[in-house]
Copies of this chain bind each other. A is one copy, B any other.
Amino acid sequence: MPGAIEFFFDFSSPYGFVASTLIDQIAERHGREIEWRPFLIGAVYKEHGGVPLEHPLKRDYAIKDFLRTGRFNGLTDMQLPANFPASPVPPSRVFYWIEGQDKAKAAEFAKAAYRKYWIDGRDTADPLVAVGVAQGLGYAPEDVMAGAQDDAVKGRLRQETGDAMARGVFGSPYIIVDEEPFWGGDRLAHLDRWLETGGF
C-alpha cells in the first residue's frame, strides 16, 4: 500500500485552510490516505528566527492574496478573521483528543474548525468555539473540554510540533509524500503531478 500524504498545517494558516478544501480530492484520485498533522507554526518561527509578514507592504499584499487565493479555488466567502492570526492551540488540542479515538472524525474536525475560522470568522482560539466545532460532530462539550486539557493531549501537540520540525517542516501547509516535500498550497498541482507520475 502506498504511503500516506502527510499534511502538516497550522490552524491559523490561510493557505492551510485553502489546501484543506482541496487535499481530499487529490488523495482520492491517487488512492492515498491523508495523515492530518496540525502543529504550531509559532514554534518554527521561534527556532528559525523568522517573523511572518514583518513588513506592512508584504502584510497588505498577503491579506489580499489570502482571499484572492480562496476565491480562485471557489471559496468566495473566505474572509480575514478579526483576530488573525489566532492561536492555533485550542483547535489543535481538540484535534489530537479526537484523533485518539477516531482518525476520520479528527480529519472532519480539522476541516470544520478551519471553515469556522476562515469562512464564519469565529474565534477558534476561544476554547469554547473549538469545543463547539467538536460538538457539531457529535461530541459532548464537557468531554471535549476535559480532553483538550488533558496533559497527554497537551504533550501530544508539543510532540507533533517537534516531530514536524524534525521532519523539516517550516511552513503551513507543508506536505510530505514518499519523502518528497511540498511547501505551500500553491504546490498542490506539483503534488498532484508527483503522485500521477511517481516523481518528475
Chain A residues engaging chain B, CB cutoff 8 angstroms: 48-50, 54-55, 57-58, 61, 64-65, 68-69, 71-72, 168, 170, 181, 183-184, 186-187, 189-190, 193, 200
Q: Which of B54, B68, B200 contacts A190 (CB 8 A)?
A: B68
SS class of chain A's interface: helix, strand, loop or mixed? helix
Verify A54–B61 contact, CB threshold 8 A.
Answer: no
B170 touches A71 (CB 8 A): no
Residues of B contacting A186 with CB < 8 Å? Answer: 184, 186-187
Chain B residue nearest to A169 in the complex (CB)? B57
What residue in chain B is nearest A47 (Cβ atoms)? B55
Copies in the complex: 2
Question: A49 and B54: CB pair below 8 A?
Answer: yes
Q: Is the CB of A55 within 8 A of B200?
A: no
Separation in Å of the A195 CB from the closest CB of chain B?
13
Beta-carbon contact of A181 and B58 below 8 Å: no
Determine whether the beta carbon of B49 is less than 8 Å from that of A55. yes
Whether A200 pairs with B71 at a CB distance below 8 angstroms is yes
Given A189-B72, A193-B72, A200-B72: A50 touches B54 (CB 8 Å cut-off)? yes
Cβ-defined contact, A58 with B48, below 8 A: yes
Question: Which of A61, A64, A71, A168 has most chain B Cβ within 10 Å?
Answer: A61
